[in-house]
Amino acid sequence: MRTKTVADLVRGWLPKAESDLTNAELCLDAGKALDTVCFHSQQAAEKFIKACLIAHGIDFPFIHNLEKLIELGAKHDPDFISIESLGQELTPYAVELRYDDEFWPAAATASQALDAALTIGKSVMDRLPPEMGSEDERVQVQNPS
């Protein structure tokens, strides 16, 4: 069994992030499970950020706080801080609101969460070396609408 390279690890995280985006988009399009849209948006953003940290050799704790993860990335690339406010917006959807029985977001809130995740995904993909994309081609993240 061969040892995984950094590129292999990054390519392992990116499809997981894309899967979370797909789940968020499907729920949003159906107009149902809008809390799930928020959760999967946070999860996608987290996986994109962690893929970027791995690509640049930055160790990170296994946490869900996107702001802290973004701050780690900003030590390598100061412009990474530009997505910090989006991370702050999404972080509560990982744990706190996931188990809050009173959290039932409106479609606009869910859509905003998905847009934030897409923006973070695009920002990360722009920072990855080309060889760190998916096996066949780089994972494509659409611009938020």
Is it the case that residue 63 has pLDDT exceeding 50?
Answer: yes
Closest of 9, 116, 120 to residue 58, by C-alpha: 9
Q: How many Å apart are CA 109 and CA 128, to the nearest integer? A: 29
Answer positive or negative: Cα dihedral of 6, 83, 23, 97: positive
Q: What pLDDT, in 10s, does the model give residues 87-120?
A: 999 999 998 887 888 889 999 999 999 999 999 9
Q: Amino acid identity of 106?
A: A
pLDDT, position 134: 53
| Domains assigned to the chain | 6-127 (1.20.120.330)
pLDDT, position 101: 87
